[in-house]
Amino acid sequence: MTKKKKPFVLRLKPEMMEALEKWAADEFRSVNGQIEWIINRALKDARRLKDADKGKGDQNK
């Protein structure tokens, strides 16, 4: 069973968005997928995820 994703608005400086778009392209991900990966990695590094959620961000890589 998959959980629904909650949409939200994110405002970024143009230079940040350009860097993010390039990074996503380099990793063969969408910008949204790249943002999810970055957040997942940060949450994992900070030990903020429940055990069931650990490792999900690494599936795209």
pLDDT digits (tens, 9 = 90+) for 18-54: 999 999 999 999 999 999 999 999 999 999 988 655 4
Residue 28 placed within a domain: yes
Does residue 34 belong to any structural domain of this protein? yes
Q: Considering just the CA atoms, what is the radius of gyration of the chain in Å? A: 13
Q: Which residue has the tokens 């590094």?
A: 45
| Residue 59 lies inside a defined structural domain of this protein | no
The tally of domains found in the chain comes to 1
Here the contacts of 13-17 (C-beta below 8 Å, separation 24 or greater) are none
Rounded to two decimals, the pTM is 0.73
26 part of a folded domain: yes
Q: Looking at the domain assignment, is residue 7 inside a domain?
A: no
- H-only helix segments in 1-61: 14-26, 31-45
